[in-house]
Amino acid sequence: MNNQRTAVVVEDDGDVGELISGLLVQVGFEVHVARTGVEALAVVRDTRPDLVTLDMSLPDIDGVEVCRQIRLLSDCYVIVVSARTGEVDRLVGLEVGADDYLVKPFSMRELQARVAALFRRPRATTTEAAPAHSVAAAVARTPLSVIRGTVTADPELGCEDLELNPDAREVRVRGREVDLTRTEFDLLAHLASKPGVVVGREDLLRAVWATEFVPDSTHVVDVHLANLRRKLRRGAADHEWIRTIRGVGFRFDPCCG
C-alpha cells in the first residue's frame, strides 16, 4: 500500500514553486505543481492531495476564491503563501478555509515547520488515534453525555439538542447535521470539552492552531467563532451554545434553558 502523502503547489512564480516543491519532495511528498487557479482546482480534484500551498496572487482567479473552491472539493490542509502582509488579508484567507498563512519572503525551514505542525493536528477524515495533546484527545476524555448536552445523573443540566461526535467529526443540532469547517469543529470540540469553563482566546489559539503559528491578532478566533455560532444558531435559534465573557474569553453552555 502506498502511504506517500500528496501535495499540490499552486504558484505562478516558477522559481518559488520549484523551491517549495523541492522541499516537499525532500520531506516525503509526491508533488504536483499548478500555475493558475483553474489548473489548481483541476489538479486538486484529480489527485485528492493531503496538502496544498496556495499563492494568493494568481493570473486568472483570486487566491481567496481558489481556496473557497478547494474547500468544496477537499478537506486537505491549505497553507496560503502570499506577499500580502495585512491582517485583513490573513483573516480573509483563514476565514475561507486556509489552515495557515505564510508571508513572502519566508525561509524553507519555516515552511517545513508549518507543514509539520499541521500534520500533528487531527484531520477530519483521519481514523488514526489523535495525539494525547490534541483537541480530539481532549474531547475523547470528556464524558460523551456532556458533549451531547445531556447529563444522565441530572437531566436539568442539559438537553439532547446538540450532538457532537468526535470520532465521525459530526455535529447535529436537533437532529440536523451542521456543516462545519475543520477549525470550527475543533473550536467547538475544545470548548465543549470544558462545559461551563471560560476559555481565553490565547488558550484557543494554542489548542486549535499549531503552536508555530501565532497570528498577529487573536481576532482570528472571533472570526471563526462568529461563523460557528451563526451555523449553530440556524438549528436552535432559542439557545446560544457559546457565550462571550467580555474581556475574558468564551464559555460553552450545554444547558438549553
* Residue 56: band (very low, low, confident or very high) from pLDDT cuts 50, 70, 90: confident
Judged by average pLDDT, the poorest of 63-67, 218-222, 248-252 is 218-222
> Between residues 175 and 256, which one has the greater pLDDT?
175
Mean pLDDT of the chain: 76
pLDDT above 90: percentage of residues in the chain: 22
Alpha-carbon distance 115 to 44, whole Å?
18
Cα–Cα distances in Å, from 73 out to 46, 68, 124, 230, 236? 10, 9, 14, 23, 28
Query: Is the bond leading into 105 cis (omega within 30 degrees of zero)?
Result: yes
Q: What is the pTM of this model?
A: 0.52
Judged by average pLDDT, the poorest of 40-49, 176-185, 191-200 is 176-185
Q: Is 216 helix (H, G, I), strand (E, B) or coil?
A: coil
> Between residues 218 and 96, which one has the greater pLDDT?
96
Residues 6+ away with beta carbon under 8 Å from 6: 29, 30, 31, 32, 47, 48, 49, 50, 51
Q: Is 256 helix (H, G, I), strand (E, B) or coil?
A: coil
Do 147 and 159 form a contact (C-beta atoms < 8 A)? no
* Residue 25: band (very low, low, confident or very high) from pLDDT cuts 50, 70, 90: very high
Q: Is the pLDDT of residue 198 over 90?
A: yes
The DSSP symbol for 16 reads: H
Q: Which domains does the chain have, with CATH numbers?
A: 6-118 (3.40.50.2300), 135-252 (1.10.10.10)
* Residue 211: band (very low, low, confident or very high) from pLDDT cuts 50, 70, 90: very low
Q: Is the pLDDT of residue 129 over 50?
A: no
Q: Is the pLDDT of residue 130 over 50?
A: no
Alpha-carbon distance 33 to 52, whole Å?
10
Q: pLDDT tens-digit profile of 143-176?
A: 333 333 332 222 333 345 788 888 788 888 888 8
